[in-house]
Amino acid sequence: MPDPDRRRLAASATPSLPPHSSHARLRRLPAIDKVRAHPLLRSNLGVNAAHDLPTTLAREAVGALRAELLAAESDAAAAALDVDARIAVHLRSRCDALRGPILRRLHNGMGVLLMTNAGRAPLSAEAIHAIAEACAGYANLELDLEDGGRGSRQALLQPLLRWLSGAEAGLVVNNGAAALLLALHALAAGRAVVVSRGELVEIGGSFRVPEVMAAAGVRLYEVGTTNRTHAADYQRAIDDLRAAGDTPALLLQVHRSNFDQVGFVATPTVAELAAIAAAEAIPLVCDLGSGAIGDLSAHGMRDEPLLREALQAGADLVTASGDKLLGGPQAGLLLGRLPWIERCAKSPLARALRPCRLTLAALEPTLRAHLLDRAEHELPLWQAIARNLASLEALGTRLVATTGEAIERAPALDLAADLVQSEAAIGGGSQAGATLPSLALRLRPRRKTASALASDLRGLPTPWLGRVRADAVLLDLRSLTCGSAGDDAALAAAWAAALSTLAAAHAVDEGL
């Protein structure tokens, strides 16, 4: 039988409404048929809507209102709720989603170039054109144009992947975590994988290396300590496993790209681990994450392990992302020795993780830009990284002037704007803690909070994202220009249009 004390404890821990309060509140809900006939639905759905769509939207709107009524702090607050207005708000949000677009372009003034929440690397004009060309009609995705037979999508970018990395072969999958997952599953399912405790990192969004390894079906064998791991620790692990009648499937090294270890730390080099792996006839897999291709120090950035250098040092397989320092579409790269790439390609998981033609089309010009040393001229990420402070200052001065002109025309804006120093991060789990010097447009509202202004900016038809700092909203110029193709005039015009929309909204709020 249920424990009465436990029942009483549960009841006391769960706040409830007074008796019959919920019934009184819910009697205010309109009938579904009445909401179904709402003018918003008639004007937005027309006569060609799916038969049950108006009913579905009406039920969702009533359900949302029901939750609001029940969540009200008191019966008086529930009674004060304008039911008709709230139904209209809920219906409007659903009609907006129906009309689209839901996924919208925005201006990123957050000061993070590879902002995961905003899609990471903006694509180059060449990549966008390639997507349009490859996807407007049919394409030779898996068609051999020489003999007309079945081809392989993985063969399309093989030359570019080999030339860029120095690898014998490569594979493309749909993201960086998928590349590591495929490598582990194909090469080590059911077997032990040796990895340093200091490299069991959380990738992001609560995804952790141990969980990726578990999903791949491998057994995690930890070595070393959180701060210090030596090559001898890997050798000892191999000897211990063999003494127990087991053999590790591979050695794994994970680049700690999203955090730093400083002080009393030690990590074996790729060459040291490669020597052990070769002597034991097992592969070394290096997850490099960021996908760095060339020297970063020229841009004031910290050194990252490079794909080519890891392979030259003896790694049998390296994995990386396409939308981080590579500056391309979301993709995962597996690069390395042909036998291991072939085993990965033959895994059933490879089909589940394969890229679509949009990814391949966008990745091709991204790889070519790096090969031909045109990254700083063609890839938005690298254009933003390479941009000098003088040109940012010129843009900032222009935006300050644009803001001043808008305020003169529409005093309802009630803003003050100036230019301040800022710092931009690379983001996307790359270059942890490192920043690039930048400038920011500082917007200080006089009659509302900075948080309210930031909300207004996000609510624009083309949202603008900014950082709230004390009593101001900062729009970082380096991140704003990432994806603008260096067209400062277009960016200034877009900002003028945003201010005009804000001014109109403020005038309505104030009854002007």
> Hey, what are 435's tokens?
């920043």
> Hey, what are 76's tokens?
């008086």
Q: DSSP code of 38?
A: -
Alpha helices in 281-388, H assignment, sequence order:
307-312, 338-346, 348-352, 357-371, 375-378, 380-386
pLDDT score of 507: 67
Helices 389-409 and 488-510, packing angle to 10 deg: 30
Closest CA to 219 of 243, 185, 179: 185
**Is the preceding omega at residue 101 within 30 degrees of 0, hence cis?**
yes
| CB neighbourhood size of 151 (10 A) | 16
Please, which residues bridge with residue 114 across strands? 427
What gap in Å lies between CA 180 and CA 288, rounded to an integer?
A: 10
pLDDT score of 337: 98
pLDDT score of 87: 95
pLDDT score of 259: 61
Q: Where are the beta strands (DSSP E) in 111-226?
A: 112-114, 169-173, 192-196, 202-204, 207-208, 219-223
What gap in Å lies between CA 79 and CA 214, rounded to an integer?
A: 52
pLDDT score of 427: 84
What gap in Å lies between CA 271 and CA 140, rounded to an integer?
A: 40
Q: pLDDT tens, position by position, for the chain (512 residues)?
A: 344 444 443 434 444 555 557 888 899 999 999 999 999 998 888 655 556 899 999 999 999 999 999 999 998 999 999 999 999 999 999 998 888 888 999 999 999 999 999 999 999 999 999 999 999 999 999 999 999 999 999 999 999 999 999 999 999 999 999 999 999 999 999 999 999 998 887 776 667 888 889 999 999 999 998 889 999 999 999 999 999 999 999 999 998 765 666 667 788 999 999 999 999 999 999 999 888 888 787 877 777 889 999 999 999 999 999 999 999 999 999 999 999 999 999 999 999 999 999 999 999 999 999 999 999 999 999 999 999 999 999 999 999 999 999 999 988 888 999 999 999 999 876 777 678 999 999 999 988 899 999 999 999 999 999 999 989 999 999 999 998 877 999 999 999 999 999 988 876 666 54
pLDDT score of 329: 97
